[in-house]
Amino acid sequence: MTQRRDMLSATLLLMVSGFAIGAEFHSLQPAAPLAGAALLTVTVLQWRPMAGIARATVLAALLLGAYYYLRGTLTTDILHRAIQRSAFFTLFVIALDILRTAAMGSAMVLDSGKTIVSQPPGRRYAMISLGAHIFALLLSVGTINLLGTMNQRSIDASPTNDPAHIREIRLRRMTMALIRGFAAVTLWAPTTVTVVVVVSAVPNLDWYQFFPLGISTAAGFLLFGWILDRVSYRQPPRAPATAPLGSILLSLIPLISLTFGVLLITIALAAATGIRPIAALLICVPLFGLCWIALQNRRAGPMGALILTKRRLHRQVLPDIVTARSEIAILASAGFIAVVLPTQIDTQALGLFIAGLGITEPWLLVLTMWLITFTAPIGLNPIITVSVSIEILARLSGFAFTPYALAFAGTAAWALSTGISPFGATIRLTARCINRPVLDVGMKWNLPFTLYVLTASSVLVFILN
């Protein structure tokens, strides 16, 4: 019974993804109710195993939609756009899940992970941070499971005569390198939900336009993390290097090449078809993932590789799609809310009220960043706070925000909240991997870094706007 329910859910989710792809090429408004009905059906089928936060987000979206429908302010056009946004976010989760499944089965990825974690103290933080950043492009939150588990294993395998407090410091530094390297990718990468949500909310902004600012910010984020680590801890005597640094960096080139290969194909598809670059990426990613799985089976010959790929598709890829039920529910519901709610707010009156308080554009963005960052630890998911805030700010009467400042404020606040929120997947998964309390990993260990970077980001907002 469960297997049949999951197979039906996977089929419906693939139909919703097909609608999202089709809507990028042609207007498919007549099919929007079918896509919405499919998402609701999946929600009902997967309700019991769904996470509590996912259920709460779904109920919030349904109640909000019902309330405005009964008031008569939820027009057909708004509803169709909300469903299309929900379908697009569903496509995002499924596309990245297929890529993650392919990457987790790659010996190259596993070997690179072991090499990164096994570095000597002098370069360990930098290599784990950089490695987590690169892995996150392909593995998403799978990076946390992979490198987090390897971090803990390396501590367990360290000499037993090491003092307990030294082992604890080593684990803390490795964990911070992992979290900060992972969080930094949300500042620029189109394979992250952050960039998809923000680019979808900011008018007149495509990912490739934001890329130079995003990648520069991420570089500063990573560099400051390394500097803070160096000045916060006394450096131990140099240990013999396991391998020359150049050879370690060369071992990461295949992963980097794969990532930028996908991005180049995406740019070519977007240019050839005229669709949004972010949509082109989500079309390319699952196809790339399936081809990667086939290449992993190449020793079986062409026909054997196809048979083994088909088998893995049915036995692993499709079931994995269903296990992402909570992520799909949260994102689809947040996308729905982000379209519906701002249309019901009188942005002209709100703009006049804020202007009357004497708050200017930069200060309003700074206030928004701090609120997003520090409401995440009390349970407000940045998926909703960022998407709704950016949508409202973009519509606010009497205020002129640059698209770059809006996008930066959203991505920076999201990245920083990722590193401290005990309710977020990043901190929860990391704490589970290293067997430490979630409040220690996020709010205790990473709070100073968050405050420093948030202050610097606030200054940068004044420059951008």
d(CA 50, CA 6): 13
Mean pLDDT of 313-342: 85
Please write the tens of the pLDDT for every residue from 331-341.
Answer: 899 889 888 98
| Residue range of the domain that includes 203 | 172-241+346-465
Q: How many domains does the chain have?
A: 1
DSSP letter at 358 equals T
Q: Give dist(CA 270, CA 266) in Å, integer.
A: 6
Average pLDDT, the chain: 85
Alpha carbon distance 306, 295 (integer Å): 9
Vertex 428: Cα angle to 424 and 431 (nearest 5): 145
Query: Highest mean pLDDT range out of 82-86, 166-170, 316-320, 353-357?
Result: 82-86
Question: What average pLDDT does range 358-372 have in this prediction?
Answer: 94
Region 364-385: what's the mean pLDDT? Answer: 91
Confidence of residue 349 (pLDDT cuts 50, 70, 90): confident
Compute the distance between CA of residue 148 and CA of residue 152 in angstroms, rounded to an integer: 6
pLDDT band at 248 (very low <50, low <70, confident <90, very high): low
pLDDT at position 158, please?
Answer: 63
CA distances for 209 relative to 85, 189, 222, 277, 362, angstroms: 21, 12, 22, 10, 21
Do 416 and 409 contact (CB within 8 A), yes or no? no
99 in a domain, yes or no?
no
Flag whether 110 is in a domain: no
The predicted pLDDT at position 266 comes to 83
Classify residue 140 by its DSSP letter.
T
The residue with greater pLDDT, 375 or 159, is 375
| Conformation bin of residue 27: beta by default, left when phi > 0, alpha when psi is -120 to 50 | beta
Return the structure tokens found at 143. 């990076």
Q: Which is more confidently placed, 419 or 157?
A: 419
Q: Are 254 and 108 in contact (CB under 8 A)?
A: yes
Phi, psi of 446 (to 5 degrees): -105, 0
- Mean pLDDT over residues 277-290, rounded? 84
pLDDT of residue 246: 64
User: Which pLDDT belongs to residue 34?
Assistant: 92
Supply the pLDDT for residue 242: 55
CA 455-136-440 angle, to 5 degrees, is: 55
Given a contact cutoff of 8 angstroms between Cβ atoms, the answer to whether 380 and 424 are in contact is: no
> DSSP labels for 44-78?
HHTTTTS-HHHHHHHHHHHHHHHHHHHHT---HHH
Kindly state whether residue 20 falls inside one of the protein's structural domains.
no
- Report yes or no on 374 lying in a domain: yes
Looking up tokens 């407000």, which residue turns up? 380
Residue 240 has pLDDT above 70, yes or no: no
- What does the alpha-carbon distance between residue 387 and residue 370 come to, in Å, rounded to a whole number? 15
The Cα–Cα gap between 131 and 116 comes to 7
pLDDT of residue 49 exceeding 80: yes
Residue 442 half-sphere exposure toward CB, CA atoms < 13 A: 27
Mean pLDDT (whole number) for 104-116:
74
Helices 207-232 and 164-184 sit at what angle, rounded to 10 degrees?
Answer: 160
Q: In this structure, is residue 148 part of a structural domain?
A: no
What does the pLDDT read at residue 403? 93
Compute the half-sphere exposure of residue 100: CA atoms within 13 Å on the CB side of its CA.
Answer: 22
Residue type at 347 in one-letter notation:
T
Average pLDDT over residues 216-230: 94
Does the pLDDT value for residue 5 go beyond 60? yes
Q: pLDDT per residue over 138-172, tens digit each?
A: 767 778 877 877 777 777 766 656 677 788 888 89
127 or 140, higher pLDDT? 127
Answer yes or no: is 449 within a domain: yes
Contact 46, 325 (CB under 8 A): yes
- Residue 77 within any structural domain of the chain: no
CB 297 within 8 A of CB 308: yes
């992972």: which residue's tokens?
A: 182
Is residue 82 predicted with pLDDT exceeding 60?
A: yes
pLDDT of residue 37: 94
pLDDT confidence band for 437 (50 / 70 / 90): confident
pLDDT band (50, 70, 90) for residue 391: confident
pLDDT for 293: 84
Of all helices (H) and strands (E), which one includes residue 330? Answer: helix 325-343
- Identify which of 108, 137, 97, 120 has the alpha carbon closest to the alpha carbon of residue 331: 97
Output phi, psi for 454, to 5 deg: -65, -40
Q: Supply the pLDDT for residue 63.
A: 95
* Helix 207-232 and helix 447-464, axial crossing angle in degrees, nearest 10: 140
Q: How many CB atoms within 10 Å of residue 318?
A: 18
Of 394, 410, 412, residue with least CA distance to 454: 412
Decide if 237 is inside a domain.
yes
DSSP H helical ranges for 233-324 = 245-251, 253-273, 277-296, 301-312, 318-323
